[in-house]
């Protein structure tokens, strides 16, 4: 029996934790829990190099656990290009790649994801309005990319479908690891808080959701939103969001007072027999 754990949105820099201490504590917990695969759905740091270093150090200490990760939008802010994100082949980095679990028919598919404004269905705005709002208010304005958001999501959708077709041909049971929101049921729509109605444009894509449903994906691990969700089955797919979120004087999203308690509470377990 393989044991898989998933987490996202640790935001280790924003949460001002002692990273080396956290790595020691997480490695010990993963070993004690006999976790075979630890999946990280993005947003470790506001710096890709720091995310890489963290994963490398955690992997060295969690000796019996395979640490796999994709990048979230925060990781993309510094020290990485779009081309590197797409083509990078660092240890543990699985964007646009898959990992077949030994002695099972399970395939883990990693895809960072992006957005195309299609979740902002209750805001009657042209694409240009969402783009200018993003450049003014959203942290992703710091991320450099050589195409529009719509074109970037086109590439994500094409890659995801290619991966799902290949898995289907081999009758694989699929776990997709992505950062952005994979189903509109997790999107918050309001009539009185226009900020979030506009921010929904940067949450994900209805096209991503359509592919998950079309290919009857077994499980999806995601992040980006910091709400507290228990694992939930929608249609034929189980969705796991293990976001730790922010704990500072601007945003206090935790239900506890220290990082490790919150991380353990938010860690989601997927057991494969």
pLDDT reading at 272 higher than 80: no
Do the Cβ atoms of 44 and 14 come closer than 8 Å? no
Confidence label for 194 from pLDDT (cuts 50, 70 and 90): confident
Whether 249 shows a pLDDT value over 80: the answer reads: no
Task: Give CB contacts under 8 A, 24+ apart, made by 51-55.
Answer: 51/75, 52/90, 52/93, 54/12, 54/19, 54/23, 55/90, 55/91, 55/92, 55/93
| pLDDT the model gives residue 130 | 96
What CA–CA distance (Å, rounded) separates 19 from 31? 18
pLDDT of 273: 58
Rounded Cα gap, residues 123 and 200, in angstroms: 9
Query: In which element (H, E) is residue 196 found?
Result: helix 194-199
Mean pLDDT along residues 15-20:
97
The two structure tokens encoding residue 76: 């993309």
Residue bearing tokens 């450049």: 135
Task: Say whether domain 2-272 belongs to CATH 3.40.50.12780.
Answer: no
Residue with tokens 């592919």: 211
Share of the chain above pLDDT 70, in %: 99
* Ramachandran assignment for 160, one of left (phi > 0), alpha (psi -120 to 50 degrees), beta (any other): alpha
Strands 106-110 and 173-177 come out as parallel
Mean pLDDT of 44-71: 98
How confident is the model over 134-177, as pLDDT tens digits?
999 999 999 999 999 999 999 999 999 999 999 999 999 999 99
């Amino acid at each position: 029996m393989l044991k898989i754990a998933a987490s996202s949105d640790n935001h280790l820099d924003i949460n001002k934790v002692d990273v080396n201490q956290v790595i020691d504590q997480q490695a010990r917990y993963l070993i004690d829990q006999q976790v075979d695969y630890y999946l990280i759905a993005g947003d470790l740091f506001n710096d890709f190099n720091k995310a890489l270093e963290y994963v490398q150090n955690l992997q060295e200490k969690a000796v019996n656990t395979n640490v796999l990760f994709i990048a979230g939008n925060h990781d993309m802010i510094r020290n990485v290009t779009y081309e590197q994100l797409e083509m990078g082949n660092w240890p543990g980095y699985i964007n646009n790649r898959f990992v077949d679990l030994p002695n099972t028919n399970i395939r883990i598919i990693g895809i960072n994801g992006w957005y195309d404004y299609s979740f902002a269905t209750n805001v009657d705005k042209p694409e240009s309005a969402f783009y200018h709002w993003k450049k003014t208010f959203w942290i992703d304005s710091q991320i450099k990319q050589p195409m529009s958001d719509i074109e970037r999501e086109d590439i994500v959708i094409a890659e995801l479908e290619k991966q799902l077709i290949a898995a289907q041909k081999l009758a694989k049971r699929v776990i997709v690891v992505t950062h952005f929101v994979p189903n509109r049921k997790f999107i918050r729509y309001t009539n009185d808080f226009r900020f979030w109605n506009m921010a929904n444009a940067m949450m994900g894509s209805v096209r991503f959701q359509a592919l998950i449903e079309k290919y009857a994906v077994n499980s999806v691990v995601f992040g980006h939103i910091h709400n507290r969700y228990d694992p939930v089955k929608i249609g034929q797919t189980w969705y796991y969001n293990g976001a730790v979120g922010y704990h500072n004087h601007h945003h206090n999203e935790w239900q506890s007072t220290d990082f490790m308690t919150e991380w353990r509470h938010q860690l989601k377990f997927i057991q494969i027999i």
